[in-house]
């Protein structure tokens, strides 16, 4: 039987991905010298052919945009976590040739917060909408006991967030982006917006802020994260999410009992510093 020792990250664009750095660092630390992890530029049109061409040596795939939903019809099984947000970021290949889709972004977000001492929160705010925001809501479903306020830019996005809240069992209130500074009164703020979107809000950071999870990792720190940290608030960044979700991917692809979080984070930090 061919050993399953090959993995990769797919997406478009993909050159910026830190996943190879993180996974290879894990392999080195775990002594998995025969394992390889690559990156491939694959768009939605090319995904079916790419997946169909994979041999028995493949253990798994990491997926980034725009493939997280496009892959679902190609799978034999999708986990409840991935199904909840209609997004698969991990594909596992079983020994009997089945393709299983999972989502490690959601438990990775929860694990990153837990590492910083945030296991429960009475309320939360989400800045932005879209795929990352829906994953944030899914994570908050398990740790937020009260209302989540989502700050969005359009009625269409507002409707989407309400629908995700209903689907995920989260009490979501939607507010206009013009009031986004009000989000900072929440004990936990998750910013899912593109680079630059929150820069104008830095002056609104309160004197005693709670916890900010800004999912960007480049450039870092963002102006908001820097202002938040300067006020003494707890700050998590996109690298925290990336590392924690990658830890889960490594464990599920390789069968390792525990992936080396510290080594993976150090590799990611070094790679970002070198850019």
pLDDT class of 1 with cuts at 50, 70, 90? low
Averaged pLDDT of the chain? 96
Residue 81 has pLDDT above 90, yes or no: yes
Q: Is the bond into 185 cis (omega within 30 degrees of 0)?
A: no
Contacts with 140 (C-beta within 8 Å, 6 or more apart), sequence order: 121, 124, 126, 148, 170, 190
Q: In what order do the strands lie in the sheet with 172-176?
A: 172-176, 148-152, 124-127, 188-191, 211-214, 234-236
Tokens coding 93: 């290949």
**Domain 107-236: top CATH class:** alpha beta
pLDDT class of 232 with cuts at 50, 70, 90? very high
| 6-103+240-273 matches 107-236 in fold | yes
Tokens coding 177: 């982006």
Q: How far apart are CA 256 and CA 251, in angstroms?
A: 5
| Averaged pLDDT for residues 14-39 | 97
Residue 35 has pLDDT above 80, yes or no: yes
Asked about 68 being catalytic, the answer comes back as yes
For the chain, the domains span 6-103+240-273, 107-236
Kindly report, residue by residue over 85-128, the tens digit of the pLDDT: 999 999 999 999 999 999 999 999 999 999 999 999 999 999 99
Q: pTM for this one?
A: 0.95
6-103+240-273 has which fold? Rossmann fold (3.40.50)
- Report the pLDDT value the prediction gives residue 131, as an integer from 0 to 100: 84
State the catalytic residue, choosing from 6, 24, 39, 68: 68
């Amino acid at each position: 039987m061919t050993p399953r020792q090959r993995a990769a990250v797919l997406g478009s664009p993909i050159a910026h991905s830190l996943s190879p750095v993180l996974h290879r660092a894990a392999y080195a630390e775990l002594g998995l010298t025969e394992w390889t992890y690559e990156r491939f530029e694959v768009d939605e049109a090319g995904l079916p052919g790419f997946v169909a061409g994979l041999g028995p040596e493949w253990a798994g795939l990491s997926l980034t945009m725009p493939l997280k939903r496009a892959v679902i019809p190609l799978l034999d099984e999708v986990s409840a976590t991935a199904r909840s947000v209609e997004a698969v970021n991990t594909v596992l290949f079983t020994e009997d040739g089945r393709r299983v889709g999972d989502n490690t972004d959601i438990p990775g977000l929860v694990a990153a917060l837990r590492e910083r001492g945030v296991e429960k929160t009475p309320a939360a705010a989400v800045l932005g909408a879209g795929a990352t925001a829906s994953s944030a809501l899914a994570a908050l479903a398990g740790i937020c006991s009260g209302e989540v306020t989502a700050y969005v830019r359009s009625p269409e996005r507002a409707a989407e967030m309400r629908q995700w809240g209903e689907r995920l069992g989260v009490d979501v209130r939607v507010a206009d982006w013009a009031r986004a500074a009000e989000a900072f009164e929440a004990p936990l703020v998750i910013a899912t917006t593109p680079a630059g979107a929150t820069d104008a809000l830095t002056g609104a950071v309160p004197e005693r802020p709670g916890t900010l999870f800004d999912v960007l990792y480049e450039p870092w720190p963002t102006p908001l994260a820097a202002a938040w940290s300067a006020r003494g608030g707890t700050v998590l960044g996109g690298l925290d999410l990336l590392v924690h979700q990658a830890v889960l991917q490594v464990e599920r692809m390789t069968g390792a009992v525990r992936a080396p979080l510290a080594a993976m984070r150090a590799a990611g930090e070094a790679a970002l510093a070198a850019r």
